[in-house]
Structure 1
């Protein structure tokens, strides 16, 4: 019903605050960042923000990745990480240890938001974006105060930027690939809202050429099954060039800006 009516920033912020208070917290030292999208954009790309999380961690950011299995797509972050052989259901202390030792940790949403397990089956059955897609990126159990958060449309971008400000983010970038992507796009322009504890910037537009890349067709960044996406991530992280690598670089760059490692 909320989706049909349209969620307001006040409603989203209120729901996120309650979910944050009920989540199992992850003890962290120092600043952490999360890279994620709301999903539900229907573009069926590979796991771009998950790949960007690894690259951002390699660049020195401490990445507390919060995610789940696929709800309205073929492969969620938990699915691809599991296919890579990563144990996805670690508890809070183990995730904290990962963050301290290797600079990246994964928090499987059902483990840290036990009350939400009752919503999992209905979400999967509905098969479209619901308010829970929006709340997931806003309820990081490590209380990430730095984020890159992708949204599938401009209207939601405005709302989420406002919500992040209300929730007290230190520095976040809300991004939207024009044409419907909840990532910075390689196929055309993208809108960016820069959010700090002092306010929200008007959205500005960036394009692949700003990064020295050529535009690419959406078919070049399509995903597949968890095993197929895992192999794509391996190839990207091993240095394979192409549109998939380029879009990961673009979204990693956003993380470095949000994490105040670049400008």
Structure 2
């Protein structure tokens, strides 16, 4: 299936680990000119090597922390040096805190909100004027099933991902008249089979989740779990990547404003 992505300029945030890494490699395999953004320069160097092996487009790693308010404009400028931005994949996200909302610290709410939603707003705001001017473009936001049903003990994270979903829909309504499409992929838990797929900042590296939910009662831990109707409990990042590529391609030219779960049937 020809995606017509060869030679297109693509920005992918959070590109050095797990889902973002797989998305970066998938676009590279389509011959796109990819700007992969991340904080881990060592992981970025490895990603550059892998992307160069898989595609005949170019791959550039750009080191940036997307929670820096100035990062989006710097990323957009770096991508524009490659070519007009055709595709943006807003992949940055993660968990800052966990626990019951009634017991949460208001001082830490902003962390989850900015990491998962503020970064999407800023990066989209940076590239959108160029897409509108050219009357062409595709934006793929990475949401979460947490934004559809709410993950137990992750209230602010779930709310932030729900905001990503809502923003996807309203932005699609605003920019469709300019030939720009906006869609969202909402994965359930996603775990790579490649141990090298986790950068130093990945929440799947080390004991991040153990520390995040430290002290959780067994009955509360059980309430967090969701089962799928398939044989395995989690998605693979390549499955999220393949849908992201399709949504950005001309094969999805009449698709916009949609939120697609990749959940193994866990929401059934």
- How high is the TM-score relative to the length of structure 1? 0.45
Identify which of structures 1 and 2 has the higher relative contact order when contacts are C-alpha pairs closer than 8 Å and 6+ apart: 1
